[in-house]
Amino acid sequence: MRITGIGLYPSGDPLLSQTNAHANRSSCRHKLLCMTSKHTVLDREMFVQALRHMGEQDLLFLNRMVVERLNLLAQARSTVQLAQFAVGDRVEFTANDGSIKRATVLRLNKKTTSLLTDDAQTWNVSPALLRKLTAA
């Protein structure tokens, strides 16, 4: 599938010619996308115009691409957050009731961290909610 004007290909990369990308690089502040590695620029207005002319199949395809990209970004963010912790680390977090729980990391799961609290409860907590305790 190729959309005239912005060059959207099935690979998911919005492409402009090298000349256009080079010419538009200086105005990246006003663009939807500005990828410095490939100098790819996608103008918001052109994108909106392309969306208005897309059929149902093209919109469904684009939706799948957007959802996949958002999932990839979320997984990357989760991986970075999980990398801050190791099994055996001492951490603390604030429970739903507002109490502060101290715990030891038992396992690093795909999206959460399995913890054993000081009062012998097991919790699965997002790493974004954990604070590492410093050795006293």
Enumerate the β-bridge partners of residue 124. 114
Confidence of residue 15 (pLDDT cuts 50, 70, 90): very low
% of the chain residues with pLDDT over 70: 68
Q: Which pLDDT tens digit goes with each residue over 23-64?
A: 444 444 444 445 444 444 567 888 888 899 999 999 999 999
Query: Which ranges constitute the DSSP H helices of the chain?
Result: 18-24, 44-53, 56-82
For the chain, the structural domain boundaries read: 18-82, 90-132
Is the Cβ–Cβ distance between 48 and 32 less than 8 Å?
no
**3-state class of 13 per DSSP?**
coil
Enumerate the β-bridge partners of residue 105. 115
* Site of tokens 């392309």: 50
| CATH 3.20.20.70 for domain 90-132 | no
Q: Which residues neighbour 129 within 8 Å (Cβ) at sequence distance 6 or greater?
A: 93, 94
Task: With 0.85 as the threshold, say if the pTM is over it.
Answer: no
% of the chain residues with pLDDT over 90: 51
Q: Which pLDDT tens digit goes with each residue over 77-119?
A: 888 989 999 999 999 999 999 999 999 999 999 889 999 999 9
Question: Mean pLDDT for the chain?
Answer: 77
